């Protein structure tokens, strides 16, 4: 399970299986109701071939429906989350009456024209040429071009051509597995718009998967996030990313997501000593940003405020975009929390900030373009104290090797090589959570 994931572990009847969903490597398999790591899905009930809406209530994950609300023709649905779960659900959706899957072709020796005819049932050469032209593939790409000669963007354009050629009889939705994966950013926006426009022009809706928050926002569709063989949450993009509950939304938001309990004005997280004031009451979800954790080799580092410093073990080191992160496990679960924390920020924006500070201060409009965690009140003063203690205030934090600007915790070492030596699996560190930056929301939302 993803380390960010907070979806409860699947039970013995997590997902049941529909015969015929496929038994290829990595595919869902029918293994009864004993619950396995492979995602499994059941389709219940029958529908008509001419259905103009898609009933998702028969797709059950851990005993609960994928969605109690049907998808009307023209409505889109975005699936996000753990790859195994998303793949299983997409295949099950494609089996529903009214759905048809069109997957972007993989590189092979198959010719473009042959793939289009097999996928769409269209044999007209003139229609094939027109579809290739309209998808932006005229010129060097013809019906005789092999799929292995096409790059990712060109194969996505071929998918677009297939959408325009596909018949709509008895179909309300096209299932499009990760149609934009790997497409370069400067082409992605145009292809996304063209693909959705082609689907909607035929009076259809799309059920597509993605791990891109931009896709989710621009599509404007209902989103279902899947994690640990369950629906982690469903809603619009603001809900999914603003109140993360699954592994993907947590990772995209740069947060540790977990559950807690609010009672008598205090939020408690498990048995840990990490607490904060809250006006909520009852069960809650909470998100701790990965950059809201202070780390040091020294328990009494001045960078700590002293509220709840706890010892942790490094159990993993990984890259996450432009950030280097560590996975941490508390030595004493009665004191600390399992966390993912940022230790190195190699983003160009942080480098810009370091250059501007070294040149005599940030430009007048820096607040509009550079990230800041500044705030008024005691928490802002505490942050300033931590920065001074770590040697990162007023343009400090440079190192002999010139990489000091990227360090987030000088208590772990004064240079990147030194910190890497200290951040091996099994290393013991001290940690403190900035409790003012914990985001909390009720479970029922």
At 386-407, the pLDDT tens digits run 444 444 444 444 555 577 899 9
Residue 225 and residue 346 share a domain:
no
86 and 231 together in one domain: yes
Q: Which residues pair with 325 in a beta bridge?
A: 318, 342
**Residue 48, pLDDT score:** 34
pLDDT for 378: 40
Report the domain count for the chain: 2
What global pTM score does this model have?
0.75
Across the range 18-25, mean pLDDT stands at 33
The CATH number of residue 232's host domain is 3.40.50.300
Beta strands in 167-309 (DSSP E): 173-176, 205-209, 222-227, 230-235, 255-263, 266-268, 275-277, 282-289, 293-296
Last residue of a domain, one of 242, 270, 304: 242
* pLDDT > 70 in the chain, percent: 79
Q: Which residues form the domain of 329?
A: 290-435
Domain check: are 393 and 299 in the same one? yes
Q: Which pLDDT value is given to residue 139?
A: 82
Band of residue 357 on the pLDDT scale cut at 50, 70, 90 = confident
Check whether residue 410 and residue 308 sit in a common domain.
Answer: yes
The helix/strand/coil state of 323 is: strand
Average pLDDT over residues 5-24: 36
215 located within any domain: yes
Among the listed residues 121, 198, 125, the one whose alpha carbon sits nearest the alpha carbon of residue 156: 198
* Residue 128 included in any domain: no
User: What pLDDT is recorded for position 368?
Assistant: 44
Shared domain check, 332 and 425: yes
pLDDT at position 345, please? 96
Is there a domain that residue 122 lies in? no
Are 182 and 316 members of one domain? no
DSSP state of 104: P
Do 89 and 191 sit in the same domain of this protein? yes
* Res. 166: pLDDT tops 70: yes
Q: What is the mean pLDDT of residues 292-300?
A: 97
Looking at the fold, whether 323 and 420 belong to one and the same domain comes out as: yes
417 has pLDDT over 80 = yes
Same domain membership, residue 361 and residue 225? no
Q: Is 294 within a domain?
A: yes
| pLDDT, tens digit (0-9, with 9 covering 90-100), for 184-216 | 999 999 999 999 999 999 999 999 999 999 999
Phi, psi of 437 (to 5 degrees): -100, 5
Tokens of 31: 């293994």
* Co-location of 200 and 306 in the same domain: no
Pick 28 or 421 by higher pLDDT: 421
Whether residue 78 sits in one domain with residue 200:
yes
Distance CA 133, CA 123 (A): 16
pLDDT band at 4, cuts 50/70/90?
A: very low
* pLDDT tens per residue, range 35-86: 333 333 333 333 333 457 899 999 999 889 999 999 998 999 999 999 999 9
**Nearest alpha-carbon partner for 273 in 300, 309, 313, 311:** 309
In a domain, 303, yes or no: yes
Average pLDDT over residues 150-163: 97
Residue 280: inside a domain:
no
Residues 59 and 203 in one domain: yes
**Does residue 226 sit within a domain?**
yes
pLDDT band at 306 (very low <50, low <70, confident <90, very high): confident
Q: What's the CA gap between 171 and 244, in Å, rounded?
A: 33
Residue 393 CA to residue 350 CA, distance in Å, equals 13
Pairwise CA distance, residues 406 & 8, whole Å = 36
Is 338 part of a structural domain of the chain? Answer: yes
How high is the mean pLDDT of the chain? 83
């Amino acid at each position: 399970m993803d380390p960010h994931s907070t979806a409860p572990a699947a039970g013995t009847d997590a997902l049941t299986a529909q015969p015929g969903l496929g038994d290829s490597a990595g595919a869902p398999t029918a293994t009864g109701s004993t619950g396995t790591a492979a995602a499994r899905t059941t389709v219940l009930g029958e529908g008509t071939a001419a259905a103009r809406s898609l009933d998702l209530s028969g797709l059950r994950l851990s005993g609960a429906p994928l969605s109690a609300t049907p998808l009307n023709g023209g409505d889109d649905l975005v699936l996000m989350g753990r790859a195994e779960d998303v793949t299983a659900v997409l295949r099950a959706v494609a089996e529903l009456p009214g759905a048809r899957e069109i997957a972007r072709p993989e590189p092979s020796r198959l010719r473009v024209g042959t793939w289009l005819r097999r996928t769409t049932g269209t044999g007209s050469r003139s229609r094939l040429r027109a579809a290739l032209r309209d998808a932006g593939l005229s010129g060097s790409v013809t019906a005789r071009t092999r799929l292995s000669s096409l790059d990712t963007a060109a194969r996505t354009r071929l998918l677009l051509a297939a959408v325009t050629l596909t018949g709509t009889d008895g179909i309300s939705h096209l299932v499009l597995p990760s149609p934009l994966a790997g497409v370069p950013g400067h082409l992605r926006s145009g292809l996304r718009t063209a693909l959705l426009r082609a689907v909607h022009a035929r009076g259809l809706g799309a059920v597509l998967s993605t791990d891109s928050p931009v896709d989710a926002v621009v599509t404007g569709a209902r989103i279902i996030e899947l994690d640990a063989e369950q629906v982690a949450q469903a809603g619009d993009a603001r809900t999914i990313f603003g109140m993360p509950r699954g592994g993907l939304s947590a990772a995209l938001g740069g947060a540790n997501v977990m559950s807690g309990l609010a009672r008598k004005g205090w939020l408690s997280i498990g048995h840990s000593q990490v607490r904060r004031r809250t006006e909520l009451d009852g069960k809650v979800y909470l998100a701790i940003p990965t950059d809201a954790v202070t780390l040091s080799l020294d328990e009494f580092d001045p960078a700590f405020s002293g509220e709840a410093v706890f010892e942790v073990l490094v159990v993993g080191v990984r890259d996450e975009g432009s950030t280097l992160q560590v996975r941490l496990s508390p030595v004493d679960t009665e004191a600390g929390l399992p966390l993912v924390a940022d230790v190195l920020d190699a983003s160009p924006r942080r480098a810009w900030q370091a250059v501007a500070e070294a040149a005599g201060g940030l430009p007048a409009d820096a607040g509009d373009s550079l990230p800041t965690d500044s705030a008024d009140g005691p928490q802002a003063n505490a942050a300033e104290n931590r920065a001074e203690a770590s040697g990162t205030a007023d343009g400090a934090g440079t190192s002999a090797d010139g990489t000091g600007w990227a360090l987030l915790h000088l208590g772990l070492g004064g240079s990147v090589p030194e910190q890497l030596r200290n951040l091996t699996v099994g290393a013991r560190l001290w940690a403190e959570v900035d409790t003012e930056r914990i985001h909390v929301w009720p479970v029922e939302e």
